[in-house]
Amino acid sequence: MLKSTGVVRKVDELGRIVIPIELRRTMGIAEKDALEIYVDEEKIILKKYEPACIFCGNAEEISNYKGKNLCIHCLREIGKKAV
């Protein structure tokens, strides 16, 4: 369900918009945080990026191996099969 914040911002000449500090604080978005961009029909949705496991999609207990995100469960499973 969408909830209006009542905030309206214009797109500048470089295609940028500013997300108000109050909204960033509420959503836990810090400077330099990555945001994912989704499109739903005529809506643009921004979501704080949380890396997930490339195999199962789990976003908890993530490790990076050779540039790929893996969760601890998949790492253990791979380790068992490698033996």
pLDDT in tens, 11-27: 999 999 999 999 999 99
Give the span between the Cα atoms of 44 and 57, in whole angstroms: 23
Domains of the chain, each with CATH number or no CATH: 1-49 (2.10.260.10), 50-83 (no CATH)
User: CB neighbours of 46 closer than 8 A, spacing ≥ 6?
Assistant: 19, 35, 36, 37, 38
Q: Contact 78/66 with Cβ under 8 angstroms?
A: no
Maximum C-alpha span of the chain: 57
User: Amino acid identity of 78?
Assistant: I
**Does 78 have pLDDT greater than 70?**
yes
Instruction: Taking residues 4-10, report their average pLDDT.
Output: 91
